[in-house]
Amino acid sequence: MAYKVTNKLDQRIKLGNIIFEAGETKELNEKPYSDKFIVEEIKGKSHSDNITEEIKQEKKPTKLKENKE
């Protein structure tokens, strides 16, 4: 499923590793559950028709792992 996601704030927002400028719209594969975005489902479009960005969560090392390295 593809979603048209628009940043509705007047500032830059980071969603996973994707950065949205103020008012910027992007097409994503996953639906963000944040009130900072306007999300519209794109109907009639298959997943393979368009290259879309995927939300990837950054993995941050915990303090325990930092101490071991």
Q: How far is CA 55 from CA 23, 44, 52, 67, 69, in A?
A: 18, 22, 10, 29, 28
Residue 10, strand partner residues: none
Res 43: pLDDT: 84
Res 1: pLDDT: 81
Model confidence at 68: pLDDT above 60: no
Tokens of 67: 């101490």
Task: Write out pLDDT tens, residues 11-60.
Answer: 999 988 999 999 999 999 889 988 999 999 988 755 555 555 666 655 55
What's the pLDDT band for 67 if we cut at 50, 70, 90? Answer: low
Q: Domain coordinates of the chain in residue numbers?
A: 2-68
